[in-house]
Amino acid sequence: MDRTLLALFVSLFFYCNTSAQPLALASANSTRSFQLVKKKGNIRVYERWFEIEGEARETRELKSEFTIPAGINEILKAIQYPEEVAKWMQSVGEVKAIEGKGTSRWMYYLRYDIPWPLNDQDCVMRYHLTRDNGYAHVYFSSVADGRYPPEDGIKRMEGVQGLWRFESQADGKTRVTYSVLILEKPSLPRWITDPIVRSNMMDSMVAFCDVLSKEGKK
């Protein structure tokens, strides 16, 4: 079995095990390095590609890194509550809490208003928060849920997994790393999707920083 997919299965197993810590993304064993694709202020967006065994194709992992003038508790509110998520997540048309709002384990329904030529997309996402000695990790993955079945005209996103990593700094700031990986096969060529995907990541992280910076000044 390909090491990438093996890592995915192992990570999902540990994610479902309440006593385990979230593991790295499925591509953690990739031999390819991240390449910088966008930069704005102290925000960096990187990506790397790796092959999926047996499918003769590659998939992308995106990562963003930055430091923000806010503590971990403030930052967590921006991802644990749907009304806060809507302030920074780009192209999101709807965010609904399904269960566990404000706890260490929660689920959201998210719908994205995607510009042409892509279709609108949605997903049901499960999140798991762990904390330890100045660090916090939020692992998330897309799941099937009968309460929100796929709708006509909206592309259901599958095979999504990712990780938020927060590290407290001595000056009261927080070092943030956000990674996301989508395993499903893309429907359009890269020359169309690359600019959209990269810009969406950067715009979301810029808005995320803006929201937390304003909260930190209150």
For the chain, the structural domain boundaries read: 3-217
pLDDT for res 190: 72
Q: Which is more confident, 126 or 54? A: 126
pLDDT for res 68: 94
DSSP letter, residue 157: P
- Residue 185: which pLDDT band, with cuts at 50, 70 and 90? confident
Q: How far apart are CA 18 and CA 103, in angstroms?
A: 14
Strands 121-132 and 155-156: parallel
pLDDT (tens digit per residue) in 92-140:
999 999 999 999 999 999 999 876 666 789 999 999 999 998 899 999 9
* Mean pLDDT, residues 15-41: 60
Contact 104, 137 (CB under 8 A): no
**In the predicted structure, residue 10 carries a pLDDT above the cut 60:** no
b/e map 153-181, b = 16+ CB within 10 Å: ebbebeebbbbbbbeeeeeeebebebbbb
Q: CATH number of the domain at 3-217, please? A: 3.30.530.20
Sign of the torsion formed by the C-alpha atoms of 167, 23, 18 and 80 = positive
The SS3 of residue 93 is strand
* Mean pLDDT, residues 47-52: 81
When mean pLDDT is compared across 5-14, 132-141, 169-178, the lowest value belongs to 5-14
